[in-house]
Structures are given as C-alpha cells and as structure tokens.
C-alpha cells in the first residue's frame, strides 16, 4: 500500500502547486458530481445511451473521487477513476455527440473533460505531493 499511495519527495513549491491543483480540481468536480449523485443510475435522463451502472460509476467517481483528490486521500486510485470517467466524457462528446473541442455557441464541447482528464492523469502518475493525507497516512516513498 505504501508504494502505491506514498508521495515521493518534491520541492515545496511543487507540493504547494499540487495542493492548489488538487483542491480546486477536486471541489470543481465534486460540484459537477453532486447533482449526479442525487440520481446516480439515471442522471442522464430516460433513454440515455449509457447504461445506469456506468452512470452510477461516473457519479461516484465525480463526487466521492473528487473529494478524495481534494483531500489527497488515496489520490492515485481516485485520480485513476476520474481519469477514466473524463476519458469517457471526452469521447462521448467527441464521437457520439460530435461536439467541437471548444464550443463557440450554445452547444457542448469536450474541452473541459479533456482538461480534467489531463489534471487527474497527472495526479495519478505523480501523486498528491507531501501536503496531503496520503503523506500523513503512508509517509514518503523512497526513490
């Protein structure tokens, strides 16, 4: 467990940047997930192309996973779940809905899903930094 969740030593400025990134991205995503977690198996509405179980996984990921990321708790696991959720969202907007990368009007886009995918991918690979609950619970990794 320690190898998976213990953050590696980094400069303090990197730890502060990771803390700010985690908190802002976590709170923003938890806000997106809040409405979905209220009706986890059907938040996309009746006749949705996505089965209820996948809607529920996305709702839990966006709400609980985002809170975990903000706290820096099991960050790599939560970041992995959020990365897959955002990959699915980006592909859904890009391939199924045929939305543009950036919307110039009323329609949707896959811009934000892609940005979140990159943020959570970074946190999955790098970890949360030393200013996290993971660091308190699991210590630091040894290089």
**Mean pLDDT (whole number) for 104-131:** 94
Phi, psi for 38 (deg, rounded to 5): -70, -30
pTM of the model: 0.91
Residue 102: burial class (beta carbons within 10 Å; 0-12, 13-18, 19+)? exposed
Task: Find out whether 131 and 72 touch, Cβ atoms under 8 Å.
Answer: yes
Task: Find out whether 44 and 104 touch, Cβ atoms under 8 Å.
Answer: no
Q: Say yes or no to pLDDT of 17 above 90.
A: yes
Q: Say yes or no to pLDDT of 55 above 70.
A: yes
pLDDT bin (cut points 50, 70, 90) of residue 19 is very high
The SS3 call for residue 60 is helix
- Percent share of the chain, pLDDT over 90: 81
The set of residues, in sequence order, having a beta carbon less than 8 Å from that of 23 and lying 6+ positions away, is 70
pLDDT bin (cut points 50, 70, 90) of residue 143 is low
What is the rounded distance in angstroms from the CA atom of residue 81 to the CA atom of residue 18? 18
What is the rounded distance in angstroms from the CA atom of residue 52 to the CA atom of residue 1? 32
The pLDDT assigned to 142 comes to 66
The pLDDT assigned to 10 comes to 87
What is the rounded distance in angstroms from the CA atom of residue 132 to the CA atom of residue 15? 9
What is the rounded distance in angstroms from the CA atom of residue 73 to the CA atom of residue 51? 29
**Mean pLDDT (whole number) for 113-126:** 97
What is the rounded distance in angstroms from the CA atom of residue 15 to the CA atom of residue 133? 13
């Amino acid at each position: 467990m320690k190898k998976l969740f213990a953050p590696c030593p980094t400069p303090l400025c990197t730890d502060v940047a990771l803390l700010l990134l985690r908190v802002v991205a976590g709170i923003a995503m938890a806000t997106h997930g809040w409405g979905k977690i209220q009706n986890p198996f059907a938040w996309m509405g009746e006749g949705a192309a996505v089965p209820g179980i996948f809607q529920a996984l996305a709702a839990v990921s966006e709400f609980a996973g985002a809170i975990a990321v903000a706290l820096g708790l099991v960050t790599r696991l939560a970041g992995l779940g959020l990365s897959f959720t955002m990959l699915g969202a980006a592909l859904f907007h890009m391939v199924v809905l045929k939305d543009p990368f950036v919307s110039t009007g009323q329609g949707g886009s896959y811009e934000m899903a892609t940005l979140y995918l990159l943020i959570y991918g970074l946190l999955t690979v790098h970890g949360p930094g030393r200013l996290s609950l993971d660091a308190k619970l699991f210590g630091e990794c040894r290089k």
